[in-house]
Structure 1
């Protein structure tokens, strides 16, 4: 039996609130259709996976069926040549099943890797297109979790959960068919306990769903703490305000919640699995008892090999049932991951390029605000009825206390945000009609905070204009009075 892991997602968190329980997503036809759409480009490879799983399933059952002939015709029949042939055939079949299993594993892993490759790229592009307000309102830990552990969980769902469900269902179906082909009475006795195995499934699934959603929220909290306190700016504030002990306590508390939930999650359904194991052991005993009664008292047309085959097939049948119980709850966890990812994909992009953007060949730089209102939230206006004109070549200073809206006004020019009412024009063209790339390439902003990307000094200086030559780069640095400082570094402009 190919016991595939249903997925292991290390999570931590608290119990879901009543509001979260009420709002938790359900596994709907629409959700399943969206998942199918993700997998559709790889339908050919998935068809091959189905065929390899089917072939491997049949080959894995053949040794159990051959066992009956080995016992009846080889051992009891004292036919050594036939015994050797049957044993070699069983070995060959098992080897073939293993090789087919390797091929199936490669195919499913290939599909999973490519699907997550597509998801990561699509998610990154979607997040890049989101308005600036999305990033100011969202926790960075949530974004990182969505891009990393959630999408990695999808990979495990495809390579483990989906293929595991298919493999176990095929194994279960073929084992049951083979058992009934041998003896319908013993087959019925053997599968009598199957309904009892499914009874706890619904309750366990609900428990694991709740724990997983809580764990995801806690993981986001921990990622947020790490990003806030271990960043350069965060560490500066922690040290300046002597908050090391407080932040350590906050992290320890979140970490403790993670440990508690990890224990709860791993123990969830433990008694359920004990019951499964007990019922699985009773099945073979019943077959031996009923089979012996039919042979001894009823003179049934059964052999020792037949009973041995039925017991072996029963083991092949109950194995998938046990696995399907675990995979079923892991499937629920996987649906939670897909739901969280789709929630992000469904977030609207509020600042978009117009359908037919204006692409002027030249921009003179005449900027004008026309009765502009702006608010981050509808009931909290930041700018109201702002009107002014800035001609090309002129300089204007915006003066006001902190929170007066100076930065907000500037952010409206490259359309990091869109105005609430009124409009802004550049050379007489409404900014919302201009091509967004052209607009932003013609607006230069020096931010208040310095931020460096991972890379060399050259990489950071060329970020806004990658095609600039070395001469242009050095000329700009001389004008900014930083060329001599850079040149004094160990690798100059190539210093990391």
Structure 2
């Protein structure tokens, strides 16, 4: 595909190789400049030494065979063999050092990428495709490794070989050297066109790999594979994968075959050079009787011209490789250039003894400017008090709790904790004082103990067991064959929803936060699990500032104040009795969502109060 037929997206993907980009790419090599300098030294010495066996071959013919001197012949063959062995040992050393450098550069780049992505905002991970992130971390960085380990040494080696070969050729015979070199420009003619086409195909192939990674990530994880099985979509997902796989194969074949005429032409040119040297050399020796030209000289020149065309061809192909490598660097730098939306201020405050009072002062927020989510929201949560947030789906409840630990930053107004704007508090200080329990508790694929220690790496076994007892999960854990060393499986697959939720609560208890955020931790559980968790939550809420998204009446009744959120605003706030008396949104929610719960639990007591009395 010619550049004129490229889509705007493909044109945008074509990397513009600038001085700044090259300098930025080279910055990863600078820390290893000593090793790189040694590699350059070895390449130069090895390339120079590799010229001598070809030159010696001429001496073998002229002084050995034609001169009839076996001793000279043996010495020259031995010298040629010795140079060959020494040169190959140097190449082996160069290959090892080069591999060491490239692996360490990739090590640095992977660490930098992982560290950079760790501090990207929550927005980044909700909008960016997981497949794209994985491709940047694997495929693109591995592509950079290939550039450093293969492309750059190839450029240097072939350049030195080219220079030393030309010098050796002209030192033998300038006429024959010129006749051999005259065909070199023919290599250049088709290269630019072929390189452009190959680059276009590389961009398309990379996009297909992104699609494949995304499909694999979505359908072969625990939740995705379960969804596929439940809806019996195995054949459909396989067809999607098969289609992408076929497209990748077609693109790879096109890339491999697109230069077939080019390679055939280059092969013809490569064979023409030696033929011309034999012809012109024959004329000079046999017709013009040039006595200073020998058979050995012609043999050397033929060997050197063959040595010349290889580097020329490789250097022209390297131009293609450089374009491809710049595409890898461009994709990596695109991620590095994405700013950290949520970051510490240089003079960020560290709250050593947080009390936990929360103030929303005229808070507004949007994900998209055209669709505001929160509008001028103001409320206060006293230290140690519990606020329940209720409201219809999509009202903005989850956004409220996501703003408190700065998963997103407000777009208007401010949020204060203990009188400090949370944007002035260090992220570590802020988040280390906040415990977060969501409906979908996430556990890493490790042991129960490892998941608990994620909250407090210094926790002792006694502290872990105490937290689990408070979360009503200790008895279950010790009933397992491996107890606290039992594996939970991918995303906690080996545990039930209630068991995962109680482990999550134990994890929060180990953290001992000043502020507790609960995104209705019991809404998706059975009545027994809910009862166990409610029993664990009640003491956890005491003497802690708590913000709870509530769908259960029992949770709402435990709150000191209820906020009714509707259309991104606080429609009502107050106690249960106050809000029922207003006969507004809360009473509607009560009638539609909570009344049946009351009928089903008339004898249930929560905090010593019979619900049927409320």
TM-score by length of 2: 0.77
- Secondary structure (helix, strand or coil) at the match of 1:445 reads strand
Q: Name the residue aligned to 1:464.
A: 455
Asked if the contact 1:157/1:334 (under 8 Å) is kept, the reply is yes
Asked if the contact 1:16/1:214 (under 8 Å) is kept, the reply is no
Q: Which structure has the bigger radius of gyration?
A: 2
Q: Name the residue aligned to 1:7.
A: none
Q: Name the residue aligned to 1:292.
A: 282
Moved more, 15-24 or 479-488: 15-24
Moved more, 242-251 or 157-166: 242-251
Asked if the contact 1:371/1:421 (under 8 Å) is kept, the reply is yes
Q: Which sections of structure 2, spanning at least 5 residues, go unmatched?
A: 488-614
In the alignment, the residues of structure 2 paired with residue 436 and residue 171 of structure 1 have an alpha-carbon distance, to the nearest angstrom, of: 56
Q: Name the residue aligned to 2:197.
A: 207
**Residue 306 in 1 paired to residue 304 in 2?**
no
Q: Name the residue aligned to 2:425.
A: 434
- Secondary structure (helix, strand or coil) at the match of 1:392 reads coil
Change (3 A) 1:116 1:16: farther
Q: Name the residue aligned to 2:223.
A: 233
Q: Name the residue aligned to 1:4.
A: none
In the alignment, the residues of structure 1 paired with residue 400 and residue 52 of structure 2 have an alpha-carbon distance, to the nearest angstrom, of: 75
In the alignment, the residues of structure 2 paired with residue 32 and residue 312 of structure 1 have an alpha-carbon distance, to the nearest angstrom, of: 36
Q: Name the residue aligned to 1:216.
A: 206
Asked if the contact 1:71/1:305 (under 8 Å) is kept, the reply is yes
Moved more, 311-320 or 241-250: 241-250
**Residue 165 in 1 paired to residue 189 in 2?**
no
Q: Name the residue aligned to 1:414.
A: 405
In the alignment, the residues of structure 2 paired with residue 130 and residue 291 of structure 1 have an alpha-carbon distance, to the nearest angstrom, of: 68
**Could you tell me how far 1:413 is from its partner in structure 2?**
0.5
**Could you tell me how far 1:30 is from its partner in structure 2?**
1.3
- Secondary structure (helix, strand or coil) at the match of 1:245 reads helix
**Residue 343 in 1 paired to residue 334 in 2?**
yes
In the alignment, the residues of structure 1 paired with residue 381 and residue 284 of structure 2 have an alpha-carbon distance, to the nearest angstrom, of: 100
**Could you tell me how far 1:182 is from its partner in structure 2?**
0.5
Asked if the contact 2:39/2:94 (under 8 Å) is kept, the reply is yes
Q: Name the residue aligned to 2:317.
A: 326
Q: With CA pairs under 8 Å and 6+ residues apart, which has the higher RCO, 1 or 2? A: 1
**Residue 449 in 1 paired to residue 440 in 2?**
yes
**Equivalences for residues 250-269 of structure 1 within 5 A:** 250-269=240-259
Q: Name the residue aligned to 2:92.
A: 102
**Could you tell me how far 1:448 is from its partner in structure 2?**
2.1
**Could you tell me how far 1:204 is from its partner in structure 2?**
1.1
Change (3 A) 1:204 1:463: same
In the alignment, the residues of structure 2 paired with residue 402 and residue 299 of structure 1 have an alpha-carbon distance, to the nearest angstrom, of: 99
In the alignment, the residues of structure 2 paired with residue 74 and residue 245 of structure 1 have an alpha-carbon distance, to the nearest angstrom, of: 73
Runs (4+) of structure 1 exceeding 4 A deviation are none
- Secondary structure (helix, strand or coil) at the match of 1:397 reads strand
**Residue 111 in 1 paired to residue 76 in 2?**
no
**Could you tell me how far 1:476 is from its partner in structure 2?**
1.1
Paired residue for 2:57, among 44, 67, 79? 67
In the alignment, the residues of structure 2 paired with residue 450 and residue 275 of structure 1 have an alpha-carbon distance, to the nearest angstrom, of: 63
- Secondary structure (helix, strand or coil) at the match of 2:388 reads coil
- Secondary structure (helix, strand or coil) at the match of 1:453 reads coil
Q: Deviations over 1:309-364 (max 9, x none)?
A: 00011111011112223222112111100110011100011100111011122111
Q: Name the residue aligned to 1:5.
A: none
- Structure with greater proportional strand content: 2
Q: Name the residue aligned to 2:359.
A: 368
**Residue 401 in 1 paired to residue 392 in 2?**
yes
**Could you tell me how far 1:23 is from its partner in structure 2?**
4.9
In the alignment, the residues of structure 2 paired with residue 138 and residue 196 of structure 1 have an alpha-carbon distance, to the nearest angstrom, of: 46
Asked if the contact 2:15/2:323 (under 8 Å) is kept, the reply is no
TM-score by length of 1: 0.95
**Could you tell me how far 1:435 is from its partner in structure 2?**
1.1
Q: Deviations over 1:454-493 (max 9, x none)?
A: 3211111111211111111111111222222222223211
**Could you tell me how far 1:42 is from its partner in structure 2?**
1.2
Paired residue for 2:77, among 75, 87, 97? 87
In the alignment, the residues of structure 2 paired with residue 346 and residue 215 of structure 1 have an alpha-carbon distance, to the nearest angstrom, of: 24
**Could you tell me how far 1:432 is from its partner in structure 2?**
0.3
Asked if the contact 1:67/1:309 (under 8 Å) is kept, the reply is yes
Asked if the contact 1:131/1:349 (under 8 Å) is kept, the reply is yes
Q: Name the residue aligned to 2:483.
A: 492
In the alignment, the residues of structure 2 paired with residue 329 and residue 488 of structure 1 have an alpha-carbon distance, to the nearest angstrom, of: 62
Asked if the contact 2:361/2:415 (under 8 Å) is kept, the reply is yes
Paired residue for 1:55, among 32, 41, 45? 45
**Residue 483 in 1 paired to residue 474 in 2?**
yes
- Secondary structure (helix, strand or coil) at the match of 2:390 reads coil
In the alignment, the residues of structure 2 paired with residue 494 and residue 326 of structure 1 have an alpha-carbon distance, to the nearest angstrom, of: 55
Q: Deviations over 1:73-122 (max 9, x none)?
A: 01100001111000000000000000000111011111101100100000
Q: Deviations over 1:2-40 (max 9, x none)?
A: xxxxxxxxxxxxx96333224532111111111111211
